[in-house]
Amino acid sequence: MQYTCHECNKIYHRNPSQAGKYCSMICSGIAKKKTKINKICIVCNTEFQVHEYRDTEAKYCSHNCYLTVMQNLNVTITCQNCGNNFEIIYSQRNRIKNCSRKCRNEYDRRFELSGLHTCTTCKEEKPVNQFYVNTIANRPWATCITCNKQRHKKYNNTTAGKASRARITFRRRSLLKKTATLTANEWKTILDKYENKCAYCGKLSDTIEMDHIIPVSKGGTHTKCNVVPACRTCNRTKAAKLHIKPMTPEETKGILL
Protein backbone atom coordinates (compact mmCIF):
# COMPACT_ATOMS: atom_id res chain seq x y z
CA MET A 1 0.00 0.00 0.00
CA GLN A 2 1.04 3.62 -0.49
CA TYR A 3 1.63 5.99 2.41
CA THR A 4 2.80 9.61 2.67
CA CYS A 5 5.73 10.45 4.93
CA HIS A 6 4.79 13.00 7.62
CA GLU A 7 8.24 14.61 7.42
CA CYS A 8 9.30 14.83 3.75
CA ASN A 9 5.87 14.16 2.13
CA LYS A 10 7.41 11.39 0.06
CA ILE A 11 5.12 8.56 -1.10
CA TYR A 12 6.42 5.15 -0.07
CA HIS A 13 5.20 1.54 -0.24
CA ARG A 14 4.96 -0.65 2.83
CA ASN A 15 3.12 -3.66 4.19
CA PRO A 16 -0.04 -2.55 6.11
CA SER A 17 1.11 -4.48 9.18
CA GLN A 18 4.37 -2.44 9.22
CA ALA A 19 2.92 0.94 8.30
CA GLY A 20 4.24 3.97 10.16
CA LYS A 21 4.31 7.75 9.91
CA TYR A 22 7.73 8.08 8.26
CA CYS A 23 9.39 6.62 5.17
CA SER A 24 12.75 5.95 6.88
CA MET A 25 14.62 6.06 10.19
CA ILE A 26 16.23 9.34 9.08
CA CYS A 27 12.87 11.10 8.76
CA SER A 28 11.74 9.57 12.04
CA GLY A 29 14.86 10.87 13.83
CA ILE A 30 14.50 14.37 12.32
CA ALA A 31 10.87 14.58 13.40
CA LYS A 32 11.63 13.47 16.97
CA LYS A 33 14.47 15.96 17.37
CA LYS A 34 12.32 18.86 16.21
CA THR A 35 9.93 18.65 19.15
CA LYS A 36 11.22 19.52 22.62
CA ILE A 37 9.44 19.46 25.96
CA ASN A 38 10.13 21.12 29.31
CA LYS A 39 11.06 19.03 32.36
CA ILE A 40 12.13 19.79 35.93
CA CYS A 41 15.36 18.41 37.40
CA ILE A 42 14.67 16.16 40.41
CA VAL A 43 17.81 17.46 42.20
CA CYS A 44 17.94 21.25 41.78
CA ASN A 45 14.36 21.83 40.50
CA THR A 46 15.72 23.67 37.45
CA GLU A 47 13.60 23.62 34.31
CA PHE A 48 15.37 22.24 31.22
CA GLN A 49 14.45 21.16 27.70
CA VAL A 50 14.85 17.68 26.23
CA HIS A 51 13.84 16.00 23.00
CA GLU A 52 10.46 14.30 23.08
CA TYR A 53 11.92 10.81 22.57
CA ARG A 54 13.94 11.21 25.83
CA ASP A 55 10.88 12.10 27.90
CA THR A 56 10.91 8.93 30.03
CA GLU A 57 14.69 8.75 30.68
CA ALA A 58 15.64 12.42 31.23
CA LYS A 59 15.61 13.24 34.96
CA TYR A 60 18.63 15.51 35.49
CA CYS A 61 19.52 18.88 33.98
CA SER A 62 23.28 18.19 34.03
CA HIS A 63 25.87 15.50 34.73
CA ASN A 64 26.70 17.15 38.07
CA CYS A 65 23.14 16.58 39.29
CA TYR A 66 23.35 12.96 38.18
CA LEU A 67 26.62 12.46 40.12
CA THR A 68 25.08 14.06 43.20
CA VAL A 69 22.40 11.37 43.26
CA MET A 70 24.74 8.48 42.43
CA GLN A 71 27.27 9.40 45.16
CA ASN A 72 24.56 9.40 47.83
CA LEU A 73 22.64 6.39 46.54
CA ASN A 74 23.19 3.10 48.38
CA VAL A 75 22.54 -0.33 46.88
CA THR A 76 22.40 -3.73 48.56
CA ILE A 77 24.70 -6.50 47.33
CA THR A 78 25.67 -9.95 48.61
CA CYS A 79 29.12 -10.69 50.03
CA GLN A 80 30.97 -13.32 47.98
CA ASN A 81 32.46 -14.92 51.11
CA CYS A 82 29.83 -14.99 53.90
CA GLY A 83 26.69 -14.46 51.79
CA ASN A 84 25.40 -11.60 53.97
CA ASN A 85 23.79 -8.55 52.38
CA PHE A 86 25.43 -5.15 52.90
CA GLU A 87 24.95 -1.64 51.58
CA ILE A 88 27.47 0.17 49.41
CA ILE A 89 27.64 3.36 47.35
CA TYR A 90 26.20 2.86 43.87
CA SER A 91 29.39 3.98 42.08
CA GLN A 92 31.44 1.23 43.86
CA ARG A 93 29.05 -1.66 43.15
CA ASN A 94 31.37 -3.26 40.54
CA ARG A 95 34.58 -2.82 42.54
CA ILE A 96 33.76 -4.03 46.08
CA LYS A 97 32.43 -7.58 46.42
CA ASN A 98 33.06 -8.33 50.12
CA CYS A 99 31.48 -6.80 53.22
CA SER A 100 34.76 -6.46 55.18
CA ARG A 101 38.51 -6.85 54.87
CA LYS A 102 38.31 -10.10 56.83
CA CYS A 103 35.89 -11.57 54.28
CA ARG A 104 38.08 -10.30 51.45
CA ASN A 105 41.14 -12.06 52.90
CA GLU A 106 39.20 -15.27 53.54
CA TYR A 107 37.78 -15.23 50.02
CA ASP A 108 41.25 -14.66 48.50
CA ARG A 109 42.67 -17.53 50.59
CA ARG A 110 39.82 -19.86 49.61
CA PHE A 111 40.18 -18.81 45.99
CA GLU A 112 43.93 -19.59 46.00
CA LEU A 113 43.39 -23.01 47.62
CA SER A 114 40.40 -24.18 45.60
CA GLY A 115 41.14 -22.46 42.30
CA LEU A 116 37.41 -21.66 41.95
CA HIS A 117 35.80 -18.31 41.28
CA THR A 118 32.13 -17.25 41.30
CA CYS A 119 30.72 -15.59 38.19
CA THR A 120 28.59 -12.55 39.04
CA THR A 121 26.29 -13.13 36.02
CA CYS A 122 25.43 -16.84 36.10
CA LYS A 123 26.20 -17.20 39.89
CA GLU A 124 28.17 -20.42 39.31
CA GLU A 125 31.53 -21.44 40.77
CA LYS A 126 33.93 -22.26 37.94
CA PRO A 127 37.67 -22.98 37.61
CA VAL A 128 39.93 -19.96 37.22
CA ASN A 129 40.94 -20.96 33.68
CA GLN A 130 37.35 -20.15 32.60
CA PHE A 131 37.87 -16.46 33.48
CA TYR A 132 39.93 -13.70 31.91
CA VAL A 133 42.63 -12.46 34.28
CA ASN A 134 43.29 -8.83 35.20
CA THR A 135 47.08 -8.68 34.79
CA ILE A 136 47.43 -5.52 36.91
CA ALA A 137 45.50 -6.74 39.98
CA ASN A 138 46.38 -10.42 39.26
CA ARG A 139 42.75 -11.43 39.82
CA PRO A 140 40.15 -13.01 37.52
CA TRP A 141 37.36 -10.95 36.02
CA ALA A 142 33.98 -10.85 37.75
CA THR A 143 32.24 -12.60 34.82
CA CYS A 144 33.31 -15.86 33.19
CA ILE A 145 34.41 -16.09 29.56
CA THR A 146 31.10 -17.65 28.46
CA CYS A 147 28.92 -14.91 30.00
CA ASN A 148 31.30 -12.22 28.76
CA LYS A 149 31.11 -13.51 25.18
CA GLN A 150 27.31 -13.70 25.35
CA ARG A 151 27.16 -10.10 26.60
CA HIS A 152 29.45 -8.89 23.79
CA LYS A 153 27.51 -10.88 21.19
CA LYS A 154 24.23 -9.38 22.39
CA TYR A 155 25.70 -5.86 22.30
CA ASN A 156 27.24 -6.33 18.83
CA ASN A 157 23.79 -7.23 17.45
CA THR A 158 22.34 -3.92 18.62
CA THR A 159 22.41 -0.72 16.58
CA ALA A 160 24.96 0.86 18.93
CA GLY A 161 27.22 -2.21 18.74
CA LYS A 162 27.17 -2.30 14.93
CA ALA A 163 27.94 1.42 14.76
CA SER A 164 30.81 1.00 17.22
CA ARG A 165 32.35 -1.84 15.19
CA ALA A 166 32.00 0.19 11.98
CA ARG A 167 33.80 3.17 13.54
CA ILE A 168 36.65 0.98 14.84
CA THR A 169 37.06 -0.77 11.46
CA PHE A 170 37.06 2.50 9.53
CA ARG A 171 39.59 4.09 11.91
CA ARG A 172 41.88 1.03 11.77
CA ARG A 173 41.79 0.83 7.97
CA SER A 174 42.54 4.55 7.68
CA LEU A 175 45.59 4.19 9.92
CA LEU A 176 46.85 1.06 8.14
CA LYS A 177 46.67 2.71 4.71
CA LYS A 178 49.23 5.29 5.81
CA THR A 179 51.76 2.88 7.34
CA ALA A 180 51.16 -0.50 5.64
CA THR A 181 54.44 -1.72 4.09
CA LEU A 182 54.47 -5.35 5.32
CA THR A 183 54.55 -7.87 2.47
CA ALA A 184 53.59 -11.55 2.41
CA ASN A 185 57.25 -12.63 2.06
CA GLU A 186 58.26 -10.54 5.09
CA TRP A 187 55.47 -12.10 7.17
CA LYS A 188 56.59 -15.58 6.08
CA THR A 189 60.16 -14.73 7.14
CA ILE A 190 58.94 -13.62 10.58
CA LEU A 191 57.02 -16.91 11.01
CA ASP A 192 60.11 -18.90 10.03
CA LYS A 193 62.25 -17.03 12.59
CA TYR A 194 59.76 -17.84 15.37
CA GLU A 195 59.19 -21.39 14.00
CA ASN A 196 55.41 -20.72 13.96
CA LYS A 197 55.44 -20.14 17.74
CA CYS A 198 53.67 -17.42 19.71
CA ALA A 199 55.99 -14.53 20.61
CA TYR A 200 54.34 -14.14 24.04
CA CYS A 201 53.82 -17.66 25.42
CA GLY A 202 56.32 -19.44 23.11
CA LYS A 203 53.97 -22.30 22.25
CA LEU A 204 52.87 -23.72 18.92
CA SER A 205 49.30 -22.88 17.99
CA ASP A 206 46.86 -23.55 15.15
CA THR A 207 45.56 -19.98 15.44
CA ILE A 208 48.66 -17.84 14.79
CA GLU A 209 47.75 -14.21 14.11
CA MET A 210 49.57 -10.96 13.39
CA ASP A 211 50.08 -8.81 16.47
CA HIS A 212 51.40 -5.25 16.47
CA ILE A 213 53.95 -4.64 19.26
CA ILE A 214 52.89 -0.98 19.34
CA PRO A 215 49.13 -1.14 18.64
CA VAL A 216 47.82 0.59 15.53
CA SER A 217 45.40 2.57 17.73
CA LYS A 218 48.41 3.96 19.65
CA GLY A 219 50.33 5.03 16.53
CA GLY A 220 51.98 1.72 15.62
CA THR A 221 52.91 0.89 12.03
CA HIS A 222 52.10 -2.17 9.90
CA THR A 223 55.74 -2.94 9.15
CA LYS A 224 58.02 -5.95 9.68
CA CYS A 225 59.73 -4.35 12.70
CA ASN A 226 56.38 -3.90 14.51
CA VAL A 227 54.69 -7.25 13.75
CA VAL A 228 55.16 -10.55 15.60
CA PRO A 229 53.20 -13.84 15.56
CA ALA A 230 50.81 -14.45 18.45
CA CYS A 231 48.26 -17.10 19.32
CA ARG A 232 44.64 -16.01 19.54
CA THR A 233 44.57 -16.10 23.35
CA CYS A 234 47.69 -13.95 23.80
CA ASN A 235 46.58 -11.57 21.05
CA ARG A 236 43.22 -10.99 22.78
CA THR A 237 44.88 -10.65 26.20
CA LYS A 238 47.42 -8.09 25.00
CA ALA A 239 44.82 -6.05 23.07
CA ALA A 240 46.03 -2.41 22.97
CA LYS A 241 48.38 -2.65 25.96
CA LEU A 242 51.90 -1.23 25.70
CA HIS A 243 53.57 -2.77 28.77
CA ILE A 244 53.44 -6.38 27.45
CA LYS A 245 56.58 -7.06 25.41
CA PRO A 246 57.14 -10.07 23.08
CA MET A 247 60.05 -12.50 23.31
CA THR A 248 62.80 -12.76 20.73
CA PRO A 249 62.99 -15.83 18.44
CA GLU A 250 65.96 -17.13 20.47
CA GLU A 251 63.97 -16.95 23.73
CA THR A 252 61.06 -18.96 22.30
CA LYS A 253 63.35 -21.84 21.31
CA GLY A 254 64.09 -22.67 24.96
CA ILE A 255 60.40 -23.12 25.90
CA LEU A 256 59.11 -26.68 26.15
CA LEU A 257 55.84 -27.35 24.30
Q: Are 208 and 199 in contact (CB under 8 A)?
A: no
Every domain of the chain with CATH number 1.10.30.50 lies at 180-253
Say how many residues make up the chain: 257
The pLDDT, as a whole number, for residue 227 is: 92
Tell the CATH topology of 180-253.
DNA Binding (I), subunit A (1.10.30)
104 — phi, psi (to 5°)?
-65, -45
CB neighbours of residue 230 within 10 Å: 26
Please state, in angstroms and rounded to a whole number, the distance separating the CA atoms of residues 190 and 182: 11
Asked if 144 and 135 touch (Cβ cutoff 8 Å), the reply is no
Please state the separation of Cα 94 from the chain's center in Å. Answer: 15
Write the pLDDT tens digit of every residue in 207-251. Answer: 889 999 988 888 888 888 989 999 988 888 888 888 888 888 888
**Full-model pTM:** 0.42
Average pLDDT for 130-153: 82
* Span 47-94, pLDDT tens digits: 888 877 677 778 888 888 888 887 777 888 888 788 889 888 877 777
Distance CA 237, CA 44 (A): 45
d(CA 1, CA 17): 10
Closest CA to 230 of 219, 244, 216: 244
Closest-CA residue to 207 (of 216, 215, 198): 198
What pLDDT does 220 receive? 84
So what's the pLDDT on residue 222?
A: 87
Specify the pLDDT at position 150. 92
- Determine the pLDDT at residue 53: 67
- Reported confidence tier of residue 129, pLDDT bands at 50, 70, 90: confident
Statement: residue 256 has pLDDT above 70 = no
Question: Helix, strand, or coil here: 187?
Answer: helix
